[in-house]
Chain A
Amino acid sequence: MAEDIKIVMFCCNWCSYGGADTAGTARMQYPPNIRVIRVMCSGRIDPQFVLKAFKEGADGVFVAGCHMGDCHYDAGNYKLDRRMRLLYKLVEDMGIGKERLYHDWISASEGEKFSESVKMMVNRIKELGPAHLKDQLEVEG
């Protein structure tokens, strides 16, 4: 069961997705439980995306962007940072638990950090177990 967990990961095109590429080119190993979705900027990540991922059955969501000051569009990641702080509170209130959501900054050269963060997140969600939100919402009546 714990092997089946799914984590949706949002990566910004300029840094974190590059980080994923770097990890791939260097053949670094990380668990296959993540599904990466590339967006142009972490500032483009709407809370709706995160909630939709949970609704569709994700057990965790990982959002990655450029380091502070490195944003390709100047300040997209600063806006994401503030948004995530509110989102942690929201997912906690909705019973999903803020541990299932995580955001971090990964640059294009940090293949190592990419694979380490993914490992950390997968372990964390494995310990928490699968999220039951989707099953709960499918109950009739």
Chain B
Amino acid sequence: MADKAKIGTMWLGGCSGCHLSIADFHESLLDVLELAEFEFSPVLMDTKYDEVPELDVLIVEGGIRNDENRELAEMLNEKAKFIICYGTCACYGGIPGLGNLFTVDELEEEAYINSLSTVNPDKIIPNEEVPHLESRVRPLEDVMDIDLMVPGCPPRSDVVAQAVVALLKGETIELPTTNLCEVCPREKPPEGLAMDFIKRQFEVGAPEKDLCLISQGLVCMGPATVSLCGAECPSIAIQCRGCYGPTAKVLDQGAKMVSAIASDYGIDEDKTVDPEEVANQLDDIVGTFYTYTLPAALVPAKMQKGGK
């Protein structure tokens, strides 16, 4: 028992979905438990934050949303030797990161006063003995020293189980660096990849089998997304929404995709296509291209008037 590695798992600004993907290791969990033991995990067992043991490996899901997240992240940073940034929220901020388009006041007002399901006649916004939201969501990297990033929403259990076992055995781990298109089973249409219109899935209906989704007018984030998932969504005719984040060579997933879509749109008729057309067909640029990575983008939050 004594020579087993000590694993801890932690959740910060996430939804616990990544913990479910750990629980979903299935039989691989036995391989993991042979080499290691879970010593600290607030989601899966009873733990006290003031009695955190020294950990060999710490798996963290979720980004930094409030001051409690930051405090716990700083504390755990001291306790753990090897930190795995687990899931897209931890790596890039994830969906909570879209909150960066609003101020903290706007978010609190929406959550505690305006939302239809909230009954709050006195319009009280809780501010005592609850963690306070920080000015914006930040990826974990800003607070902790990260040794390995495993993105995904959530990361694929089988891939991660393999990675964790390899890690515990002391082997090196290589995560893919290519984009989704490299592994996507869909083929380039014979008439070229040009996009002639942009539509949403329900407007297109079932896309043509085996042909690239982009050429059929769907905004597939594959060109700017890392291939860790093995193109699961495109293989069942759903366009990629970029949940695994960018490849290592891309700084800003959304901007890269803006570039790709704009270049590809009507590329065969470069000189005759109306340049405004592509912009007119996309209403929600940030929501479409930065669904998962806004806090890690080059411009990670909406610029507020006055810069305060």
Contacts and interface: CB of A to CB of B under 8 A. Distances in A.
Interface stretch (A3-11, A30-38, A81-89, A119-127): A81-89
Contacts of B259: 46-48, 83
B111 to A, nearest CB: 19
A2 interface: no
Given A85-B275, A89-B282, A46 B303 contact: no
A25 interface: no
Nearest to B250: A48
Contact of B256 (A46, A75, A90, A137): A46
A44 to B, nearest CB: 10
Contacts of A136: 135, 301, 303-304, 307-308
B194 interface: no
B303 A141 contact: no
B299 A133 contact: yes
Contact of B255 (A47, A84, A141): A47
Interface stretch (B84-92, B161-169, B234-242, B260-268): B260-268
A79 interface: yes
Contact of A137 (B258, B263, B300): B300
A88 B279 CA distance: 9
B253 to A, nearest CB: 10
A83 B251 contact: no
Tell me the interface secondary structure of chain A in the complex. helix
A86 B307 contact: no
Contacts of B297: 51
Interface residues of B, number: 42
Interface residues of A, number: 38
A52 B270 contact: no
Contacts of B286: 90, 93-94
Contacts of B263: 43, 79, 82-83
Contacts of A52: 251, 298
Contacts of A48: 250-252, 255-256, 259, 298
Interface string A61-97: 0000000110000110011011111111110011111
Contacts of B135: 136, 139, 141
Contacts of A79: 262-263, 267, 270
Nearest to A77: B270
Contacts of A54: 298-299
A136 B301 CA distance: 9
Contacts of A132: 303-304, 306-308
Interface of B: 67, 70, 101, 134-135, 250-252, 254-256, 258-259, 261-263, 265-267, 270-271, 273, 275-276, 278-279, 282, 285-286, 289, 297-308
The 7 closest A-B pairs by CB, nearest first: A132-B307, A95-B303, A85-B279, A47-B255, A83-B262, A51-B298, A95-B302
15 contacts: A47-B252, A48-B259, A51-B252, A51-B299, A54-B298, A55-B299, A69-B271, A78-B270, A90-B289, A93-B286, A93-B302, A135-B307, A136-B301, A136-B303, A139-B135
